[in-house]
Amino acid sequence: MNEYIIIGNGVAAVGCIEGVRSQDAEGRITVISKERHPVYCRPLISYYLEGKTDLSRMPYRDEDFYEKSGCRVLYGLASAQIDPAKQTVTTDDGKTLSYTSVCVATGSSPFVPPIAGLDTVPDKFSFMTLDDALALEEATQTPKRVLIVGAGLIGLKCAEGLHARAASITVCDLADHVLPSILDADCASILQSHLEQNGIRFMLSDTVERFDGCTAHMRSGGTVDFDVLVMAVGVRANTALAKGCGCETNRGVLVGDNMETTVSGIYAAGDCTEGTDASCGQKRVLAILPNAYMQGFTAGVNMAGGTARFDNAIPMNAISFFGLHVMTAGTYDGELYEEKTDGGCKKLYTKDDLLKGFILIGDTTRAGLYTSLIRERTSLQTINFELMKKVATSAAYSSEKRKRSFGGVV
Amino acid sequence: MKRVYVNEAWCLGCHLCEYNCAFANSGLQDMATALKGKPIYPRIHIEGSDAITYAVSCRHCTDPICVKSCIAGAIRKRDGVVRIDQTKCVGCLTCVLVCPYGALSPNENGVMQKCELCLQNSCGEPACVTGCPNRAIVYEEREEDA
Amino acid sequence: MGVEYLTPEYEVIRNENRCIACGVCVRQCANEVHAFLEGTEKIISDDAKCVDCQRCVSLCPTHALKIVKNDCRLRENANWDNDTIREVYKQANSGGVLLSSMGNPKPLPVYWDKILINASQVTNPPIDPLREPMETRVFLGKRPQKVERGADGKLRCELLPMIELSMPIMFSAMSYGSISYNAHASLARAAQALGICYNTGEGGLHEDFYAYGDNTIVQVASGRFGVHENYLEAARAIEIKMGQGAKPGIGGHLPGSKIVGDVSRTRMIPEGSDAITPAPHHDIYPIEDLRQLVFSLKDATDYRKPVIVKVAAVHNIAAIASGIARSGADVIAIDGFRGGTGAAPTRIRDNVGIPIELALAAVDQRLRDEGIRNDVSLVVGGSVRSASDVVKAIALGADACYIATAALLALGCHLCRTCQSGKCNWGIATQRPDLVKRLNPDVGSERLVHLMDAWRHEIKELMGGMGINSVEALRGNRLMLRGVGLTEKELQILGIAHAGE
């Protein structure tokens, strides 16, 4: 009987379990979980603070998921070692488990820069895990002044999550605009003013030079007094485990389209990996939930002897702040088509007869059609792109394609 | 399994499917009471250009990307039907970002909804199909690659 | 305005409590009766444009609409009735010939409704069609006058070509052009499924429908549109159209605006040119010329296709039929004055021709008297509305009936009688692609099959009641009919006794 070990218990692990089970109903699956929770929806932690969800609705799968999948979960094991020669995993409680194949799904960790005086801050948090959210909830039982360092996805979602609980929220970032990893300055300003209208204060192109208890001394010279500090500067892929057993790593664990690392029998999936971005052909860490699941599933299928490839991963994000929706995907490279809409915008980037990427703010109707053009690398000549760029609609496709889509089994 | 299929050759763009859908999912007995004076949030939408129109609803894909992408684990496929647990949905629209057909849309509260083949309401069979005046929408079993 | 103003014929009544402003009526009305009041969710209706086709009424999901006759009427006058006066107004406005569509709507006698059918009681038993076999199949064409034997003494069995029908009904001539592609597709598919025939009319046969050739009667009319060798070859039978019940003695005119695309190709005339059907066949003057055309067509098809000659029911119909029977035709089709049309001058439609019941009785009797009844089959049309009309027609002497209006009703026609506008909201009498697609042939053919199945059941029930188990045995059996409220003369022409006799 095959022995499958999955290190990590996030969405990639679920994908991996379901991938394995699609091939092998018998083999034993062991999940080694650092967190002491069954798999939950990590991106929901801000919604939890906001009160849009609660602990009962946050599990990613049903209560009996592990049992039904024939899986045992070892909770609370912070680290593990893989010995690829012996095909064993040793957990930090000293147990050694042998495996037929193993999947590294260790995710990522918040990166906390060494800012002077950080240790003097009494209430400081990261915002990555459910435990982080629970701790922040506890710390904001009464309205507090919150300083968030980092205006990326995590920082801004945290700001939205804490909005109703906080006396004030200040977000600072070294970058000159919000969401620097997915928005250009132009689009970011639309979002920023929307956030500002909702009471979030920004200090951009600025950073904390040093902390002095509950006071942050900014590089620009000013100071911010706060009660609660959230460090959301960025995340780093957890590559140590894979690196330690000889897997090649860069910013993440390098994987092929089949999710195998450079060491045979060791697979990796999720936020800890660096796979190919189909929109530009380069290796990138694509730390988003859909990719985590799809990578996990692909890894699982291959671990259990099947053949699966996942070769159309692209960066993509759907995120909203106070009712304003922002969607981005792909690479912002090539010719730009731009539309300004009431309170939003649309930007499409085309190159070499392909849609490469887009940014939508406000109207996001049927955005999936754009995403699909990028992922499927659809030749724009084969569709009515003049129509498509104005409205995302399958009316831009040929009637044969529509016939397949809406009259066939897909 | 039986799915809803659309043949644009017969779609008249009358939009009745949208109203029948909204009514079917309203839980009310009378259409005028259910829909009068309110915007509707159907789970099927007429799309098209000047020359053609057709109705778009969930394809219940063999390998649904919305299920894999939902950040709340709210979309699942059971017995061939892709269903959404609206109590879990937080309205992030990731499903909209990935669905290649444009089949999902939010309801009046920003919670996502999609065609669930009228299996969860009192219709018994899809209301869009029953109400289509030109049999442009059908509910039937079709072979893969047919 | 002023003297030219005509009050709308109909009034659109919208129940504002039920209207949900879904806009189906707005989108579906080709006459543009309904419209959103600009910038609002309110829908208003322009009664003047309404033709009472009931498309909006039928599609309104909340049944918020009804259409009623406008009760703004002129002063009562039994001689100058409202419609008569309106027609005068219209002509004074336009100076034109009035055009109408479908059949004669005037309250002229419908003899079918004055004829009653017999049933068996104690003297002979009725037959239960659910338990006993019933034959509804008929064959149209020439029958041998006597049994012949070959030199070897064996029966000679070879018959002239005949049309086999599973029931005594065919869909009568409606041209592609006057009706839509999808209407034709529906008729063709239904005819095939039913084992009967439909008729191309004079518009030619669209290449897509050659596949239904065995169930197709192709028409050769005075315009000769779309007639070529393959067209004749494709058919089950060929019909020479001499006249049409709705407009005897006149030709037709399909405006160039309708001669587009496939219609032009199928008719073999240039796009945009008017399709003028002459009143006469220019090669038929004395009746001998008809014989020449009949045999030209038989020659062209190696005597494998029966030839039908279709005429309108007019005053001398018995003599005319006798002449046709002697021209070599296999089938005579007679079209009564209530027959429909895609467009006809109103005065002609409403005033020319005679009722089919009288024509049929007269023709059948005449051919019997002359001993030539078996040389031809008789098919009658021109408002055959139900299975009982069919049974009465058979008992009066018909071999089969042509139906068209009933078939169109099955396809969705609501008899608004404005086919001539080309804006048929039901996708039948139109060539506008957005309207044509409203008739899905899957639905249309299915409904035609339903209608014919229902009629077949009813025909069997009626025959069974009379103790008759085949259509062949009913044919010409006028003893099965009685008249009510008819004069001696009418009874004499119909060849039936009065009820109670």
Tell which wins on pLDDT, B121 or C443: C443
Using the beta-carbon criterion (under 8 Å), do B15 and C64 form an inter-chain contact? Answer: no
Using the beta-carbon criterion (under 8 Å), do A410 and B61 form an inter-chain contact? Answer: yes
Which residues of A are less than 8 Å from B88 in CB distance? 53, 57
Distance from the Cα of A43 to chain B's closest Cα (Å) equals: 6
Using the beta-carbon criterion (under 8 Å), do B100 and A369 form an inter-chain contact? Answer: yes
Using the beta-carbon criterion (under 8 Å), do B135 and C440 form an inter-chain contact? Answer: yes
Measured CA to CA, the distance from residue C420 to residue C99 in angstroms comes to 7
Using the beta-carbon criterion (under 8 Å), do C442 and B135 form an inter-chain contact? Answer: yes
The DSSP symbol for C253 reads E
Query: Which pLDDT score is estimated for A341?
Result: 85
Tokens of A338: 């731009």
Q: DSSP letter string over C378-416?
A: EEEES---SHHHHHHHHHHT-SEEEESHHHHHHHT----
Contact criterion met (CB below 8 Å) for C80 and C463: no
- Reduced 3-state DSSP string for C354-386: CCHHHHHHHHHHHHHHCCCHHHCEEEEECCCCC
Any chains having at least 3 CB pairs less than 8 A from chain C are B
Which residues of C are less than 8 Å from B15 in CB distance? 22-24, 27
Distance from the Cα of B142 to chain C's closest Cα (Å) equals: 17
Using the beta-carbon criterion (under 8 Å), do C438 and B12 form an inter-chain contact? Answer: yes
| CA C453 to centroid of chain Cα atoms | 18
The gap between the terminal CA atoms of chain A, to the nearest Å, is 35
Query: Which pLDDT score is estimated for A409?
Result: 86
Using the beta-carbon criterion (under 8 Å), do C28 and B14 form an inter-chain contact? Answer: yes
Per DSSP, the three-state class of C482 is strand
Among candidates B87, B90, B142 on the partner chain, residue whose Cβ is nearest the Cβ of A44: B90
Chains A and B touch (3+ CB pairs under 8 A): yes
Q: Where are the domains of chain A?
A: 3-108+237-303, 118-233, 323-407
Which residues of C are less than 8 Å from B131 in CB distance? 61
Distance from the Cα of A85 to chain B's closest Cα (Å) equals: 34
Domains recognised in chain C with CATH numbers:
2-96 (3.30.70.20), 138-144+165-498 (3.20.20.70)
> Are the folds of A118-233 and A323-407 the same?
no
In A102-213, alpha helices (H)? 130-139, 153-162, 185-197
Which residue in the block uniquely carries the two structure tokens 């009933």? C406
Distance from the Cα of B135 to chain C's closest Cα (Å) equals: 7
Contact criterion met (CB below 8 Å) for B6 and A406: yes
> Which architecture, in CATH terms, is A118-233?
3-Layer(bba) Sandwich (3.50)
| Cβ-based neighbours of C340, under 8 Å, separated by 6 or more | C101, C102, C103, C246, C383, C404, C405, C408
CATH superfamily of A3-108+237-303: FAD/NAD(P)-binding domain (3.50.50.60)
B93 backbone dihedrals φ, ψ, rounded to 5°: 70, 15
Question: Could you tell me which residues of chain B have a Cβ less than 8 Å from any Cβ in chain C?
Answer: 9-16, 19-20, 23, 31-32, 35-37, 131, 133-136
Query: Which pLDDT score is estimated for B146?
Result: 43
Which residue in the block uniquely carries the two structure tokens 């020659």? C299
Which residues of B are less than 8 Å from C27 in CB distance? 12-15
Measured CA to CA, the distance from residue A373 to residue A406 in angstroms comes to 17
Q: DSSP letter string over A302-323?
A: HHTT----------EEEEEETT
Indicate the class that CATH gives domain A323-407.
alpha beta
Among candidates B10, B11, B16 on the partner chain, residue whose Cβ is nearest the Cβ of C61: B16
Indicate the class that CATH gives domain B2-141.
alpha beta
Using the beta-carbon criterion (under 8 Å), do B105 and A365 form an inter-chain contact? Answer: yes
Which residues of B are less than 8 Å from C439 in CB distance? 134
Query: What pTM was estimated for this model as a whole?
Result: 0.92
Q: What is the mean pLDDT of residues B94-101?
A: 97
Among candidates B68, B94, B105 on the partner chain, residue whose Cβ is nearest the Cβ of A318: B94
Which residues of C are less than 8 Å from B21 in CB distance? none
Using the beta-carbon criterion (under 8 Å), do A408 and B96 form an inter-chain contact? Answer: no
A125 backbone dihedrals φ, ψ, rounded to 5°: -140, 155
Chains B and C touch (3+ CB pairs under 8 A): yes
Measured CA to CA, the distance from residue B101 to residue A216 in angstroms comes to 49
| Cβ-based neighbours of B23, under 8 Å, separated by 6 or more | B31, B34, B35, B127, C61
Query: Which pLDDT score is estimated for A273?
Result: 97
Tokens of C66: 């009804």
| Cβ-based neighbours of A134, under 8 Å, separated by 6 or more | none
Query: Which pLDDT score is estimated for C309?
Result: 98
Query: Which pLDDT score is estimated for B144?
Result: 65
Residue to substitute from C15, C436, C437, interface B, most B β-carbons within 10 A: C437
Measured CA to CA, the distance from residue A359 to residue C276 in angstroms comes to 61
Low-confidence ranges of chain A (pLDDT < 70): none
Amino acid identity of C13? I
Residue B51 has pLDDT above 90, yes or no: no
Using the beta-carbon criterion (under 8 Å), do B146 and A409 form an inter-chain contact? Answer: yes
Report the residue of chain A nearest B101, measured CA to CA. A369
Distance from the Cα of B23 to chain A's closest Cα (Å) equals: 22
Residue to substitute from B12, B54, B137, interface C, most C β-carbons within 10 A: B12
Q: How many CA atoms lie within 13 A of C414 on its CB side?
A: 14
Nearest to C42 by CA among C54, C34, C50, C32: C34
Distance from the Cα of B29 to chain A's closest Cα (Å) equals: 30
Q: DSSP letter string over B77-145?
A: EETTEEEE-TTT-----HHHHH-TT---EE-TTS-EE---TTSSSTTSS-HHHHH-TTS-EEEEE--TT
Residue to substitute from A402, A403, A404, A405, interface B, most B β-carbons within 10 A: A402
Measured CA to CA, the distance from residue C97 to residue A351 in angstroms comes to 64
Residue B145 has pLDDT above 60, yes or no: no
Report the residue of chain A nearest B93, measured CA to CA. A318
pLDDT mean values, one per 10 residues, chain C (501 residues): 90 96 96 95 96 97 96 92 94 94 91 97 92 96 90 90 97 94 98 98 95 97 94 97 94 84 93 91 91 96 97 97 96 96 92 97 98 97 97 98 98 95 95 95 98 98 96 97 97 98 92
Any chains having at least 3 CB pairs less than 8 A from chain B are A, C
Per DSSP, the three-state class of C163 is strand
Contact criterion met (CB below 8 Å) for A399 and A383: no
Angle (nearest 5°) at CA A73 between A71 and A78? 150
Among candidates B11, B15, B37 on the partner chain, residue whose Cβ is nearest the Cβ of C24: B15
Q: How high is the ipTM of this complex? A: 0.95
Residue to substitute from A366, A393, A399, interface B, most B β-carbons within 10 A: A366
